[in-house]
Amino acid sequence: MRRFTGIKAVFRREFKAYFSSPLGYVYIVIFLVASGFLTLSRDFGRFLELRQADLSAFFNYLPWLFVVLVPAVAMRLWAEERKSGTVELLLTLPVTLEGAYLGKFLAGWSFLGVSLLLTWPVAYQAARLGDPDWGVVLSGYLASLLTAGAFLAVGMLFSALSRNQVVAFILAVAASVAFLLLGLPQTLETIGNHLGGYVEQLFASISLVDHFEALSRGLVELRSLVFFFLFTVAWLASGMLVLDRTRAA
Amino acid sequence: MEGNLKPAVGELLIEVQDLAKHYGPIRAVDGISFEVRRGDVLGFLGPNGAGKTTAMKMITGFVEPDRGRVRVAGHDLADESLEARRKIGYLPETAPAYGEMTVAGFLEFVAEARQVGNIAAALDRVVQAAALGRVVHQTIETLSKGFRRRVSLAQALIHDPEVLILDEPTDGLDPNQKAVVQELITSLSPGRAIVLSTHILDEAERVCNRALVISQGKILVDSTPEALIAQAPNHNVMRLVLEPTALIELMNTLDGKVWCDRVERLSETTLDIYPQHGENHLGALMELTAGLEIHSIHLQEGRLNELFRDLTRGVEA
């Protein structure tokens, strides 16, 4: 694993960093309050009105929440390193660029995983209402974790591209929104009308929404898992190429 | 202009060959070559923008050169980057560190990334060497500039490296701290190859046994500080204060002396005598002045900054 030398040290430093500054706690509080609101609100999830022992009311709006919150986690990962000059320190240690990049990604992803785990009261409440299908609940959490990872990989590329965290955040939100919108029926219909069915299918296949919805309904299909894997790896690999060019700029 | 290089005795630890880096039309580093052996403390001297920092960034593997190669302790930086970087301790110009971490936490991270065996012992050693005991549990963002630089120096030493690259190691330190760091560098030099950049020419005189003057990305001089000082315009100039009649008599006597390059009369009673090739001819002068009424004779040492100004001004013009 010579290619990933330094991944463990970078992961540990980054993961601890989320909890040694207010950013991590602020993120968790905002995430829990916003996801709770969207789940319970009469205008969105209507969890209490539906009185169903499942978490669809919770999972349905998570991608839209991630679109804003995950770039906030990603924006500092490289932009701050480049602005403060610590990137020079980090990349002259015996740490490969891949090790440093993936170490940061895994730390960010684990942090997002921790914040997802803290939503357990929603599952607990569903269990009190009835007998939820725990397989579906787990696949919903898997879908959420994979979506968060995908958006994190997108956000990291823009963080590697710009020293300015605000610019990195805006670009990451715009790109993430675009990938969500691509999967909406209205968008696909418009694309189909103007560019033809083949292009419509192509765009549908790279939309996160379809794969997220399938997984969160309990349909754990290989094609969805492969999609998330390839989507995330492609953005990570592109981000590494970008960082390699911008690190000393 | 090649100077009198110190005899090469130590093991070769840094080899730089034809290193070049361009940023658009600007030639930051333009084909420099040099070697550094174990025991050498090489001073990079040059004005701002001379290419010192870019050269250091390439030697440490942070910036990829457009041309040329670097070998550190026998490892080619292009082919065996990790092995080469393991041998290097690097203090970047801006002394970067993670502000939210404590000094101890930061040094532990660097030690872990460098796969140091006994982290606690290494931490104790560098905390003591950089005199950080008082602030070891403080977060770095709360430290003064001087302490931050010392933290950065400590991280460069955490793995007891064979090669030290120090970009402006005493920048931002007060005179006492500067002296401490200079003594530390001198004490570290026997087993290592050290390259440091500095604007403070006194520091180069004090700490370095080799000096490399860089301007506009090129090496102008590769020599020892002593040899450079000998080439300085005022080296071994003798300033005499004497009676006006004695001054006239001496000037007449000096006329025709081979060792005397020129004489400059500063006042009725003060005379500067410039020797040929900056050599010391105090003995010959004492013989000539025997019997004259002399108030004082002062033998001047050449100042490195005078030579530095002469060298770099020519290139920049």
Distance of residue A118 Cα from the nearest chain B Cα, in angstroms: 25
ipTM, two decimals, is: 0.89
Is residue B275 located within the same domain as residue B196? no
When divided into structural domains, chain B yields a total of 3
Residue B211 is which amino acid?
A
Is residue B4 located within the same domain as residue B69? yes
Q: Per-residue pLDDT averaged across A124-130, rounded?
A: 84
- Residue A127 is predicted with a pLDDT of 85
pTM attached to this predicted model: 0.86
Is residue B8 located within the same domain as residue B133? no
Running DSSP on this structure, what letter comes out for residue A107? H
CB proximity list for B193: less than 8 A, separation 6 or greater: B10, B13, B14, B36, B37, B38, B39, B40, B42, B162, B163, B164
Chain A residues lying within 8 Å of B85, measured CB to CB? 92-94
Q: Which of B100, B103, B158, B168 to substitute to test the interface with A, most A CBs within 10 Å?
A: B100
Is residue B126 located within the same domain as residue B243? no
When divided into structural domains, chain A yields a total of 1
In 10 A of CB B41, how many CB atoms? 23
- CA separation for the pair B273, B231 (Å, rounded): 16
Considering only CA atoms, which of A159, A186, A175 is closest in space to residue A247? A159
Domain presence at residue B176: yes
pLDDT in tens, B96-106: 999 999 999 99
Is residue B73 located within the same domain as residue B193? yes
Is residue B249 located within the same domain as residue B229? no
Chain B residues lying within 8 Å of A88, measured CB to CB? 57, 62, 92, 94, 96
- CA separation for the pair B205, B186 (Å, rounded): 12
- CA separation for the pair B151, B168 (Å, rounded): 14
CB contact under 8 A, A89 and B114: no
Is residue B118 located within the same domain as residue B167? no
Chain B residues lying within 8 Å of A11, measured CB to CB? none
pLDDT value at A48 more than 80:
no
- CA separation for the pair B14, B192 (Å, rounded): 10
Is residue B6 located within the same domain as residue B59? yes
Domain presence at residue B95: no
Considering only CA atoms, which of A144, A109, A193 is closest in space to residue A39? A144
Rounded to the nearest 10 degrees, the angle between the axes of helix A97-117 and helix A62-84 is 140
Residue B270: which domain range? 238-300
Question: Dihedral through CA B210, CA B216, CA B218, CA B219, nearest 10?
Answer: -20
- Residue B46 is predicted with a pLDDT of 84
Q: Per-residue pLDDT averaged across A24-37, rounded?
A: 93
Nearest CA in chain B to A248: B63
Per the structure block, which two tokens stand in for B150? 């010392």
What parts of chain B have a pLDDT lower than 50? 1-8, 317
Is residue B129 located within the same domain as residue B248? no
Q: Per-residue pLDDT averaged across A71-85, rounded?
A: 95
Is residue B47 located within the same domain as residue B174? yes
Considering only CA atoms, which of A162, A151, A166 is closest in space to residue A67? A151
Per the structure block, which two tokens stand in for B279? 């050599």
Is residue B134 located within the same domain as residue B71? no
Is residue B170 located within the same domain as residue B317? yes
Q: Which of B22, B23, B53, B62 to substitute to test the interface with A, most A CBs within 10 Å?
A: B62
The full DSSP string for A113-140 is: HHHHHTTHHHHHHHHHHS---HHHHHHH
Residue A63: which domain range? 2-246
Considering only CA atoms, which of B284, B245, B241 is closest in space to residue B261? B284
CA A91-A95-A96 angle, to 5 degrees, is 85
Per the structure block, which two tokens stand in for B47? 């004005």
Chain A residues lying within 8 Å of B98, measured CB to CB? 13, 17, 86
Chain A residues lying within 8 Å of B99, measured CB to CB? 84
N residues, chain B: 317
